[in-house]
Amino acid sequence: MFSKFKNAAKVIDPFIVIMLGLVGLASVLPVRGQVAVVADIVTDAAIVLLFFLHGAKLSREAIVAGFSNWRVHGVVLATTFVVFPLIGLFMQVSLSGIIAPMILSGFLFLTLLPSTVQS
């Protein structure tokens, strides 16, 4: 019977199990008040530290190689900040009588948001 669990442990990523456990714990015991403010600051600091450490381990060659792909970065930036907003504006104008205004406003908002990862 336990051999089934051993096989499942090989298939299921422990990180996913931990994340689901933490989401469940946060659902049952959410932070409130001053603790929530501190948790927000700690979370922001952890994210900054994570990105800093990830960037700090890059070699100079990797950074230069990344900058050498400026055409790709330009296309991604233009798509994110020009094409997507134009699509949102086009939807706002062309579908105004068909789709509810609040939904169109939501789509416009989504097209104006920058992409999380610019790579």
Entry pTM: 0.52
Whether residues 50 and 87 fall in one domain: no
What Cα–Cα distance (Å) separates residue 47 from each residue in 51, 62, 91, 115? Answer: 6, 22, 35, 17
Give the pLDDT band (50/70/90) at residue 23: very high
DSSP 113: S
Return the pLDDT at 1: 54
Quick check: is 17 in a domain?
Answer: yes
Return the pLDDT at 119: 39
Whether residues 73 and 106 fall in one domain: yes
How many domains would you assign to the chain?
A: 2
Whether residues 83 and 52 fall in one domain: no
Q: Which domain holds residue 87?
A: 69-112
The residues, any chain, with a CB within 8 Å of residue 92's CB and separated by 6 or more, are: 104, 105, 107, 108
The pLDDT tens digits for 46-86 are: 999 988 888 888 888 888 888 888 899 899 889 988 999 99
Quick check: is 64 in a domain?
Answer: no
Quick check: is 88 in a domain?
Answer: yes
Whether residues 53 and 75 fall in one domain: no
Whether residues 108 and 85 fall in one domain: yes
